[in-house]
Chain A
């Protein structure tokens, strides 16, 4: 009930390609779904987030797609760049600060 399952564990994409990372959750009480980006030697930083009343949110090259009925959400990185190489974490929370994180996806974008 409290898990957030993230896949794939690692991803290699050519420069200019589309990176797609998927997450699935079980608890329908979750009402906030952020994605965090973490570079080596740094802490995770909020990248983009969505609430379940919308199906898609786009910020620049980053898009979250949200499927409430399937209890799934995904991060799409369009025109992937080597500077996007990082570890990406999805998360879900319900109301306050009780975040449940996925296990992370290590993305490498080849130049």
Chain B
């Protein structure tokens, strides 16, 4: 496996379900991100983890709960979601630092979430 891998690629869930999205990066990066991609909207940053500590939380509803057990893995736990949460959820990673090529985001293919 190379790059950033996300599972599942597609997920359909009811509003009362609990599910999780998984992300794994094989690049040795030290920062990981969750983005939400909705049609005709800018990519929306949800969470940032740097060196496994959460450093950014853009006021995301509590029904989304991130977890970063180590620098290679990132989870997004989902519960009691709303239909408007249906979107493509992208995981990304980067290597933070002050050198050429630093902080360039590498994205996974995304998890397409549909909330019924």
* Residues of the A chain whose Cβ atoms lie less than 8 Å from the Cβ of B94: 97
B25 to chain A, nearest CB (A): 12
CB contact between A101 and one of B4, B43, B103 (< 8 Å): that residue = B43
Give the distance in Å from the alpha carbon of A32 to the alpha carbon of B107 in the complex: 18
A20 at the interface (CB under 8 A from B): no
B15 to chain A, nearest CB (A): 26
Given A32-B103, A34-B104, A97-B48, CB of A42 within 8 Å of CB of B109: yes
Residues of B within 8 A of A (CB): 4, 31, 33, 40-43, 45, 48, 50, 56, 90, 92, 94, 96, 103-110
Residues of A within 8 A of B (CB): 4, 9, 32, 34, 36, 41-46, 49, 89, 93, 96-104
Given A34-B104, A97-B31, A99-B105, CB of A44 within 8 Å of CB of B90: yes
A2 to chain B, nearest CB (A): 10
Give the distance in Å from the alpha carbon of A43 to the alpha carbon of B112 in the complex: 11
Give the distance in Å from the alpha carbon of A72 to the alpha carbon of B18 in the complex: 44
User: Chain B: which residue is nearest A5 at the CB level?
Assistant: B42
A54 to chain B, nearest CB (A): 14
12 further interface pairs, Cβ-Cβ under 8 Å (given A42-B110, A89-B42, A97-B94): A42-B109, A43-B4, A43-B109, A44-B107, A46-B104, A89-B43, A97-B31, A97-B33, A97-B50, A98-B56, A99-B45, A101-B43
Given A97-B94, A97-B96, A103-B42, CB of A43 within 8 Å of CB of B103: no
Contact between A96 and B42, CB atoms less than 8 A apart: no
* Residues of the B chain whose Cβ atoms lie less than 8 Å from the Cβ of A98: 45, 56
Contact between B41 and A103, CB atoms less than 8 A apart: yes
